[in-house]
Every structure is written in C-alpha cells, then in structure tokens.
A = this chain, B = another copy of it.
C-alpha cells in the first residue's frame, strides 16, 4: 500500500477541475479526452492513477456502467448513496434511500450473510437527452 495523492501537481489540479466541471459520471477516457481537448497536458495513465487515488481517499465516487466501464464523479454527499444516471450524457442525481438500505440489511440478516455491501443504481435517459433526439 503506497502513499498516493500526497502532492499537489499541475495534472492533479487539472483532473480535479475537470471533475468539478462535469455534471455527471464520466469514464476515465472521457475525462482524459476532455482534458486533452482543452489543452491540458495529462497522460491517460495519470488520469487512471489519480482517479484511483481519489477513490481510495473517498473524494470521488465510482460506479460500473451497464457496459462494465468505471465511471467517476465528484459527489457532494460523502456518505453512502445511490444514483440515477443518464445513459446518454452521464448526468446524474444522487439518491439516498432508506428503503434500499433497509431492504439490503433485512435480506442479509435473513440469509446470515456478513460483510455486506450493496449496489443500487438506476439508469435511464434524462429529459434533456430524450428531447434532443
């Protein structure tokens, strides 16, 4: 286990800036492309490494898209929550749900599973994307 993300570097700032500017979940590749297009000099590997570090520190949320790629977003809430994600643009809404939490806990208890975690994400097409097609 290395100590990562302890320094302030140009590229790290750029990546954070990009994350803040995004209004939804983006893949590492999308973020990198955006950075390059914008003129920022950051390598793809660095984007991956940085995102990894940010996730480890809990500063960024990851979720697996329906196709299996990891998507990242800087979330407002630092506690556990779920998302409603637009399949088309990645725009997302943070959700906290007592129902889901209770459901997961109840099921786990019932079947005597330990070390339980759960994922619950809703995918769809947001209003803006629906009308722009």
Contacts and interface: CB of A to CB of B under 8 A. Distances in A.
Interface string A12-50: 000000000000000000000000000000000000000
B116 A123 contact: yes
A75 B52 CA distance: 35
A112 B126 contact: yes
A55 interface: no
A118 interface: yes
Can you tell how many copies of this chain the complex includes?
2
A117 B122 CA distance: 6
Nearest to A127: B112
Nearest to A128: B112
Contact of A103 (B99, B115, B117, B118): B99
Contacts of A100: 99-100, 103, 120
